[in-house]
Structure 1
Amino acid sequence: MTTTVLPPGPSVPRAVQGAYALTVPGRGVRQMRERYGDAFSVNVPIFGHALVLANPAEVKQLFLARSDAVENIRPNLGRVLGPGSFFALVGEAHREQRKLLVPPFHGRRLAAFERIVEDEAARELASWPRDREFATLPSMMRITLNAILRAVFGARGAELDRLRRLLPTMVTLGSRLASVPLPRTTLGPWGWFRRMRRRYDEVVDRLITAASRDDRLDDRDDVLALLVQSRHDDGSPLGRDRIADQLLTLLSAGHETTATTLAWAVERIRRHPDVLRGLVEEVDAGGRALRDATLLEVQRTRPVIDLVGRMVTAESFELGRWTLPRGHKVLVGISLLHGDDSLFPNAAAFDPNRFLDAKPDLYEWIPFGGGTRRCIGAAFATMEMDVVLRTLLRDFHLDPTDERDERWHLRGVANAPGRGGRAVVRRRDRTTRPAPPTPTGPRAANT
Structure 2
Amino acid sequence: MTTGQISEVEPILPPRPRLPRVATGLGFALRRRQTMTQLTRRYGSTFTIGLPVFGDVVVVADPTLARQLFTTSTDRVANIRPNLGRVLGAGSMFSLDGAEHRRRRKLLTPPLHGKRIRYYEAVVAEEFAAEAVTWPTGRPFATLEPMMRITLNVILRTVFGARDADLDVLRQIIPPMVTTGSRLATIPDLPLTFGPLDPRRRFAAQRETYDRVVGSLIASARAEHDLAHRTDILALMILSRHEDGSAMTDAEIADELLTLLAAGHETTATTLAWAIERLQRHRRALDTLVAELDAGGSDYLTATITEIQRSRPVIDLAGRHVIDDLVELGPYRIPKGHNIMVSISLLHDDSRQFRDPERFDPERFVGTTAGPAWLPFGGGTRRCIGAAFAQMEMDVVLRALLRDFTIEPSTSPDERWHSRGVAYAPARGGRVVLHRRR
User: Does the alignment reach a TM-score above 0.5?
Assistant: yes
Matched, 1:52 2:59: yes
Tell me whether 121-130 or 372-381 shows the greater mean CA deviation.
121-130
The answer for the alignment partner of 1:413 in structure 2 is 422
1:329-348 aligned within 5 A: 329-348=339-358
State the distance in 1 between where 2:191 and 2:81 align. 15
Secondary structure, aligned partner of 2:93 = coil
1:116-195 aligned within 5 A: 116-183=123-190, 187=195, 188-195=198-205
State the distance in 2 between where 1:356 and 1:184 align. 52
Which residue among 15, 18, 23 is the counterpart of 2:25?
18
Q: Residue type matched to 2:327 in 1?
A: F
Matched, 1:107 2:114: yes
Q: Residue type matched to 2:208 in 1?
A: R
- Contact preservation (8 Å) 2:174, 2:261: no
State the distance in 1 between where 2:403 and 2:229 align. 32
Shift of 1:235: 2.7
State the distance in 1 between where 2:32 and 2:139 align. 31
- Contact preservation (8 Å) 2:174, 2:262: no
Q: Residue type matched to 1:166 in 2?
A: I
State the distance in 1 between where 2:31 and 2:209 align. 36
- Contact preservation (8 Å) 2:46, 2:58: yes
Secondary structure, aligned partner of 1:107 = coil
The answer for the alignment partner of 2:409 in structure 1 is 400
State the distance in 2 between where 1:358 and 1:138 align. 33
- Contact preservation (8 Å) 1:185, 1:191: no
State the distance in 1 between where 2:147 and 2:324 align. 42
- Contact preservation (8 Å) 1:153, 1:247: no
State the distance in 2 between where 1:169 and 1:154 align. 23
Matched, 1:244 2:233: no
Tell me whether 231-240 or 309-318 shows the greater mean CA deviation.
231-240
- Contact preservation (8 Å) 2:377, 2:383: yes
Secondary structure, aligned partner of 1:330 = strand
1:282-431 aligned within 5 A: 282-361=292-371, 363-429=372-438
The answer for the alignment partner of 2:92 in structure 1 is 85
The answer for the alignment partner of 2:3 in structure 1 is none
Tell me whether 103-112 or 34-43 shows the greater mean CA deviation.
103-112
Shift of 1:19: 0.8
Secondary structure, aligned partner of 1:152 = helix
Shift of 1:249: 0.7
State the distance in 2 between where 1:355 and 1:216 align. 45
Secondary structure, aligned partner of 2:231 = coil
Q: Residue type matched to 1:169 in 2?
A: P
- Contact preservation (8 Å) 2:107, 2:241: no
Aligned residues: 428
Shift of 1:9: 2.4
The answer for the alignment partner of 2:104 in structure 1 is 97
Secondary structure, aligned partner of 2:327 = strand
State the distance in 1 between where 2:257 and 2:160 align. 7
State the distance in 1 between where 2:159 and 2:205 align. 23
- Contact preservation (8 Å) 2:50, 2:56: yes
Shift of 1:232: 3.2
Shift of 1:286: 1.4
- Contact preservation (8 Å) 1:270, 1:400: yes
Secondary structure, aligned partner of 1:314 = coil
The answer for the alignment partner of 1:442 in structure 2 is none
- Contact preservation (8 Å) 2:138, 2:435: yes
Secondary structure, aligned partner of 1:87 = helix
Query: Which 5+ residue runs of structure 2 have no aligned equivalent?
Result: 1-7
Ranges of 4+ aligned residues in structure 1 off by more than 6 Å: none
Shift of 1:24: 1.8
Query: RMSD across aligned C-alpha pairs, in angstroms?
Result: 1.2
State the distance in 1 between where 2:254 and 2:98 align. 20
Secondary structure, aligned partner of 1:341 = coil
TM-score normalised over the length of structure 1: 0.94
Secondary structure, aligned partner of 1:26 = helix
Q: Residue type matched to 1:82 in 2?
A: G
Q: Residue type matched to 1:353 in 2?
A: E
State the distance in 2 between where 1:252 and 1:139 align. 16
State the distance in 2 between where 1:22 and 1:153 align. 36
Query: Which 5+ residue runs of structure 1 have no aligned equivalent?
Result: 430-447
Shift of 1:153: 2.9
Shift of 1:415: 0.6
State the distance in 1 between where 2:301 and 2:99 align. 38
State the distance in 2 between where 1:195 and 1:228 align. 26
Q: 1:257 to 1:100 in 2, by over 3 A?
A: same
- Contact preservation (8 Å) 2:264, 2:390: yes
The answer for the alignment partner of 2:11 in structure 1 is 4
State the distance in 2 between where 1:185 and 1:196 align. 20
Secondary structure, aligned partner of 1:3 = coil
The answer for the alignment partner of 1:266 in structure 2 is 276
The answer for the alignment partner of 2:210 in structure 1 is 200
- Contact preservation (8 Å) 1:399, 1:423: yes
Q: Residue type matched to 1:69 in 2?
A: R
